[in-house]
Structure 1
């Protein structure tokens, strides 16, 4: 029985990274190259952030051969997870790391945007802080430029610092062709086909500010970053004009009847 336990522990420590990557709930992580893990320069400063740092590093790099009790093993295991996550945040902004995460992004491993108008845009994991245990991982949509919680409870517990605040932005800087066009479409609340006045006024103001911004960008010969929807602008404007004329007619009809109270 002891021999069997010893063999199991040996197999476990020999393939810790394979086990970690293939474990349920760790789909967001990519495998860190062994050369990167064994380069002490890449681990600078982590010895002060991770308990049992050396034991954890030995476990991650598959050289841990020390016999410990179950309680100690659990603590080392937790430290190894944290160490791998913090190194992971550094690795995924390297050339190799970006390439691996880019493939995951293209395959939709991180999920799709829940916003209907984004049309199932693929998401990217990100952290709101670079300090461990500050907040859990979020998912970033490059189309609507908003962040969301992961759907699965398994992913909700992942530390956001394991991906950092810069990774998703660096990925689109290195692979600009992956950056989707910003959408100009928004949901318009309507009652019997007529836009709700307060929401319509707010949206009209926002659209005017957006058009002003786009005009300034065009003057500077810069890309607006929005998808091309100019072809349908005339139709949209004509529909809005018709609605405005209808509202103006209704306002005029009641204007003469409504007098201020003396």
Structure 2
């Protein structure tokens, strides 16, 4: 015991021992001087802390000239020295020696217990939510419920910066020592009113019903979106077909051999040649009608002239039968009479 008291007095004579023994700094362990003296362990910290060299001399109790005065420990450089020591501390507790020191504190319950009732006072570990200074104060991580809680020391919120512990320490310690991570607690608090679980809350049957309804609503929305996409696709395919069906088409030929698309200047009804006209006259009349309408489709001309020629030949044969029995002279008179009564202009109906 006497040796322990002497060691405590010796520790109090150093800045590191004095700083870690201050009220509110119980979560910090003492960083070994050899770790601070190694420049590799301080890489990148010079740009983060002002008066870096003076702070190192204060932390390591290096003085030139007169003997060190304890009042200087809380002087103008104290704020910067505290920040620098905290950043060094976050690196030290990730080493094997630093992690061993923090493990002793954890086993001695110096960090406290988890406030969650389900964890049954399981011990916690300090953790930072950021590696940067002055972002968030230190928090407590419970390995059992894996939740983070506010840290308190002496029944007051801890003012230690979270960057003094970093975001890695508790998880690395549990990874290297799996025995420290306990099984999850099966107990879970369920809200009740007069002994009945609240409908729709966790642990009640209503919660499953509400989830099923929400899932059906999501499926209905997916079906509606798919139907809309299908309708749009069908409309996109149907539009060109509708435009093609609305295009003008060539009308069929009129009865009696008339040509399609008859101009407005022609009469509504066509005057057929008199009985006994020859097939050559019908063909010439059809060609003249095609030229008058400006139609260049020869297929329509041939289709229209063929029925007209057959009809004229049939009518001529019937009309010329009695005249053939009268004599040859009557044939000449019939031809002259037909020529005089032949139409001057062929008119077809539209």
* TM, length-normalised to structure 1: 0.68
The 8 Å contact of residues 55 and 84 in structure 2, kept in 1 or not, is answered as yes
Tell me, in whole angstroms, the C-alpha distance in 1 between the residues paired with 2:156 and 2:20.
14
> Which residue matches 2:47?
48
Change beyond 3 A, Cα 1:72–1:33: closer
Deviation, structure 1 residue 126: 0.5
Question: Is 1:74 equivalent to 2:75 in the alignment?
Answer: yes
Change beyond 3 A, Cα 1:63–1:14: farther
Change beyond 3 A, Cα 1:161–1:202: farther
Structure 2: stretches of 5+ with no match in the other structure? 1-9, 209-350
> Which residue matches 2:119?
118
CA deviation digits over 1:194-218, x for unaligned, max 9?
211221348966xxxxxxxxxxxxx
Deviation, structure 1 residue 192: 2.5
> Which residue matches 1:251?
none
- Size of the aligned set, in residue pairs, is 196
The 8 Å contact of residues 13 and 64 in structure 1, kept in 2 or not, is answered as no
Tell me, in whole angstroms, the C-alpha distance in 1 between the residues paired with 2:105 and 2:91.
17
SS in structure 1 of the partner of residue 82 of structure 2 = helix
Tell me, in whole angstroms, the C-alpha distance in 2 between the residues paired with 1:189 and 1:129.
34
- RMSD over aligned Cα, in angstroms? 2.7
Change beyond 3 A, Cα 1:202–1:157: farther
Change beyond 3 A, Cα 1:12–1:100: closer
> Which residue matches 1:38?
37
Tell me, in whole angstroms, the C-alpha distance in 1 between the residues paired with 2:53 and 2:12.
14
CA deviation digits over 1:67-97, x for unaligned, max 9?
8998996231111111110000000010001
Change beyond 3 A, Cα 1:32–1:155: farther
Change beyond 3 A, Cα 1:155–1:66: farther
Tell me, in whole angstroms, the C-alpha distance in 2 between the residues paired with 1:56 and 1:202.
62
Deviation, structure 1 residue 51: 1.2
| Bigger Cα displacement from structure 2, 70-79 vs 161-170 | 70-79
Tell me, in whole angstroms, the C-alpha distance in 1 between the residues paired with 2:101 and 2:93.
8
The 8 Å contact of residues 128 and 165 in structure 1, kept in 2 or not, is answered as yes
Tell me which of the two structures has the higher relative contact order, counting C-alpha pairs closer than 8 angstroms and 6 or more residues apart. 1
The 8 Å contact of residues 119 and 145 in structure 2, kept in 1 or not, is answered as yes
SS in structure 2 of the partner of residue 198 of structure 1 = coil
> Which residue matches 2:279?
none
Change beyond 3 A, Cα 1:146–1:43: same
Tell me, in whole angstroms, the C-alpha distance in 1 between the residues paired with 2:73 and 2:105.
34
Deviation, structure 1 residue 142: 1.0
Tell me, in whole angstroms, the C-alpha distance in 2 between the residues paired with 1:203 and 1:175.
42
* TM, length-normalised to structure 2: 0.52
Tell me, in whole angstroms, the C-alpha distance in 1 between the residues paired with 2:186 and 2:207.
13
